[in-house]
Structure 1
Amino acid sequence: MELILSKNKYTIYYDESNNMRKLLLAGDEYNIDNDPNQDASPIFVLAGIAFANFSKQIDFDLLKKKMHLQNECTELKFSQMVKIRAKYTPIEAFRYALGSKRFKALFECLSSSKVFIHYEMINTVYWSFLDIIEDIVLCTNAQEDWMNQIFYKDCLYRLIKLDKENFLSLMTGFNYPNITKEHSLKFLERLNDLIMKNVAVKFSEGSKDQDSEMLVKLGFLVYKCIKLFSENINFELVFDHDKDILIEDFSFFYINRLKTFPNSKHILDKECKIEEKINNIRMHDPELDAVNFSFVESKEAQNYLVQISDVTAGFIRLYFNFLEYSSIEDVSLFMDSLNPIQKQTMSLFKELLDKSAEECHILLHRVVVPMDEHKASILLS
């Protein structure tokens, strides 16, 4: 996919939320599933705030007063904005964050200062298996399948959510993402078996919900590929990778962001391994080398704009976690369940999203499940 570039000039501050370092297959689970410090959320966010030439500087001392933080507070942390308990569901966590008067004060400050928010959001699980559908569509080479591939990717993600252990076992068994040509047909046959098994479970339960319909349509696509195009099956997009490695590191997402805004100044929170990786790559990449970027220690008082980016990134991750976890019905009822403060904060957040997209739509970039896009449209309508 060709990278879309912005010629606009910004000063962009970054921090991350949920950098799991690596995402690997480990039998019927991911490498992070048993890490007590990792809640296995698939959402990675690189986000923060962006200044245009007409933006106003933020008075950090005044902002801290409005957020009722002590003057002695020199480093702004997410835990100061809101305390999210481990037992909270993503719905409860997002609702609780919306109830934080400190987030309300922060969003009011950003809006009045004409400062934009930005994000690079990746659903890492969805992103890791997209190529399966893209290879099948290449195989059938049918216009209808090309047009519907986003829907089929949604269907595949639904299968992963419904039957994670068996799906990951199948991927591991075929050395994904290193599926060789001689194993391509067998892989699709096993994938079709898994789809049909889940369809059978749904029907045995008497369930004719959206999941059932999506699985049936995904199964038809895979079956069509097996029966009509077996000689053409070749996983061109996923055969040339090391097995079990879904995401080797997250530097790709940082580089993608830097290159998207080549005329801007980028200030990122210190992340030694990412910085080392990017500096090694820039030696062989003139486009990256031409970008003005630096990594700084966010805890230092003068880097308070990176600290603001940190808490902004944390809030944005809660927002996308909410969308990923919730059903359409949950999202439809969510706004009615909020108190006045929560509704005001939600309104301010929506206003920031709208103004940022209006300023430059690629300030907000996401690789998100299509169903979650639909949920977002309901929530933000």
Structure 2
Amino acid sequence: MDIDYVRQMIINQERFRNVDDQYTFYYDETNNIRKLYLTDSGLNVQQDNSFVLAGVAHVGEFNNKRFEPLFNSLLLQKSAKELKLKHIAKGGPFDMLKSSKLKKIFDWLNENEFYIHYFNLNLLYWSVVDIIDSIIGEIRERAFILSHFQLKGDFYDLAVSDRQVFLSQLSAFNYPDIDEAEVKDFCRWLILFVKERSGNLPTYRAEVLKSLFERALQLDELPFISGFHGKELIDNFMVFYLQKLYIFKNSRHVFDEEEQIQSLFKGFSLAENGKPYKNHEFVKSHDYLGVQLSDVIAGFLGKYFTYIKDTSSEQLISDIASLTDMQRQCFQSLLLLIDRSDARSRAFFTFVNSDVERQKHQYLCQATVKWGG
């Protein structure tokens, strides 16, 4: 894979800034289930929590000693061989916001010009919205193209509203390897699925989604959801590790050891102008304080984004109203850290989730700042 072609295309499309600068990125992950596939009754996992690959970053070269003042101030027990999220905070995301140590970490990162970065992935959303892309990619109608993100979000919302029925039927069609002879039956089922649950969406949006699937009846094939391994939704997570490597090609990327990903990397090479290119390494976390700190960041964000995904808007509003001053101040410190990082470069952040999830996140951010003031 030649990094410059893909890199420049994304930078131009997203208008990313400050990606040529030299940074050191530290990473850890949470909720890497290795594989996701369909079974006769649903998924191979009981909980499809949000996958998060995240951590801290700073301008310039690697320097382990930069983190020592923070670690000394946390006063960890001598029995703790390395920093883990469990040493800082426990429970759900709002319970964690009660932790003075978590706030100390966010404050210290802000005060010492560090940044955070994350990749947030809703596993099921990623796995099923190819259905929408496959149809739009074939019919190429402007109205559907302009509303493709809304269509994906609405389709996902209907899918999770009757999750077991939806997944069982996908499995019956051997998704994502739908036989050419079954394409029209698959589209008829999609139309029926939307009709029976249209009350969960505004009338107009339900009609647009239904009309998209009706247009699909005119197609002979759906290339994005045919020819793959049947019932295999995610084979591995390597592609998510690659993104920042080529976007921030002049930087050093330090990952915590992950056996499966490391094995996959050995069979995959990055190149620049036809020459091998490497700007990453996998390390033992107990030797790298930045990676240990990334365990805290990734662990908290994994719980937070899973909460956003699985919690209704009504419950979210109720939960926000019950936050204490300490919880608000801790979250505000995180928001400041995110805002500072975003101001440096939007490329620090990638998220693959529904519009509703993004709206809930924005509401939580705005409400916490407003009510906290």
TM-score under structure 2 length normalisation: 0.87
- Report what 2:157 is aligned to: 158
In the alignment, structure 2 segments of 5+ residues that lack a partner are 1-5, 367-373
Cα pair 2:154 2:201 within 8 Å, conserved: no
- Report what 1:217 is aligned to: 205
- Report what 1:336 is aligned to: 321
Q: For each residue in 1:331-374, what CA deviation from the matched residue of structure 2 results, as whole angstroms up to 9, or x when unmatched? A: 34443321111111011000000000000101011111111111
CA positional deviation for 1:9: 1.6
Label 1:289 to 1:276 Cα distance change in 2 as closer, same or farther (>3 A): farther
Task: Give the one of 221, 234, 242 matched to 1:247.
Answer: 234
Label 1:224 to 1:160 Cα distance change in 2 as closer, same or farther (>3 A): closer
Cα pair 1:123 1:367 within 8 Å, conserved: yes
Task: Give the one of 339, 349, 365 matched to 1:364.
Answer: 349
- Report what 1:21 is aligned to: 34
CA distance in 2 between counterparts of 1:8 and 1:71 reads 38
1:76 aligns with 2:63: no
Cα pair 2:254 2:283 within 8 Å, conserved: yes
AA of the residue aligned to 1:232 = L
Cα pair 1:264 1:291 within 8 Å, conserved: no
CA distance in 2 between counterparts of 1:236 and 1:332 reads 41
1:352 aligns with 2:359: no
CA positional deviation for 1:58: 6.0
AA of the residue aligned to 2:100 = K
CA distance in 1 between counterparts of 2:84 and 2:306 reads 19
CA positional deviation for 1:54: 9.9
- SS of the residue corresponding to residue 320 of structure 1 reads helix
Q: Describe how 1:249-268 pairs up with structure 2 within 5 A.
A: 249-268=236-255
Q: Describe how 1:1-381 pairs up with structure 2 within 5 A.
A: 3-4=10-11, 6-33=19-46, 40-53=47-60, 60-71=67-78, 73-84=80-91, 93-199=92-198, 202=199, 211-213=200-202, 217-218=205-206, 220-223=208-211, 225-226=213-214, 228=215, 230-282=217-269, 285-287=270-272, 289-298=276-285, 300=286, 302-381=287-366
Label 1:319 to 1:58 Cα distance change in 2 as closer, same or farther (>3 A): farther
CA positional deviation for 1:289: 4.2
CA distance in 1 between counterparts of 2:77 and 2:61 reads 30
Label 1:255 to 1:333 Cα distance change in 2 as closer, same or farther (>3 A): same
Cα pair 1:331 1:378 within 8 Å, conserved: no
Q: For each residue in 1:185-215, what CA deviation from the matched residue of structure 2 results, as whole angstroms up to 9, or x when unmatched? A: 110101222222234xx5xxxxxxxx2327x
Q: For each residue in 1:48-76, what CA deviation from the matched residue of structure 2 results, as whole angstroms up to 9, or x when unmatched? A: 00111399976545324433423553300
CA distance in 1 between counterparts of 2:229 and 2:61 reads 47
CA distance in 1 between counterparts of 2:247 and 2:265 reads 15
CA distance in 2 between counterparts of 1:344 and 1:295 reads 34
AA of the residue aligned to 1:155 = D
AA of the residue aligned to 2:176 = P
CA positional deviation for 1:135: 1.8
Superposition RMSD in Å: 2.3
CA distance in 2 between counterparts of 1:168 and 1:14 reads 32
AA of the residue aligned to 1:76 = L
- SS of the residue corresponding to residue 8 of structure 1 reads coil
Q: For each residue in 1:273-303, what CA deviation from the matched residue of structure 2 results, as whole angstroms up to 9, or x when unmatched? A: 1111012111xx42494131110011x2x31
- SS of the residue corresponding to residue 83 of structure 1 reads coil
CA distance in 1 between counterparts of 2:349 and 2:314 reads 25
AA of the residue aligned to 1:213 = P
Cα pair 1:139 1:225 within 8 Å, conserved: no
AA of the residue aligned to 1:336 = A
Label 1:358 to 1:152 Cα distance change in 2 as closer, same or farther (>3 A): same
Aligned residues: 351
- Report what 1:206 is aligned to: none
- SS of the residue corresponding to residue 236 of structure 2 reads coil
Cα pair 1:28 1:167 within 8 Å, conserved: no
Cα pair 2:136 2:145 within 8 Å, conserved: yes
- SS of the residue corresponding to residue 99 of structure 1 reads coil
Percent identity between matched residues is: 28
Cα pair 1:55 1:115 within 8 Å, conserved: no
- SS of the residue corresponding to residue 42 of structure 1 reads coil
Cα pair 1:127 1:367 within 8 Å, conserved: yes
Label 1:364 to 1:329 Cα distance change in 2 as closer, same or farther (>3 A): same
In the alignment, structure 1 segments of 5+ residues that lack a partner are 34-39, 85-92, 203-210
CA positional deviation for 1:236: 1.5
AA of the residue aligned to 2:249 = P
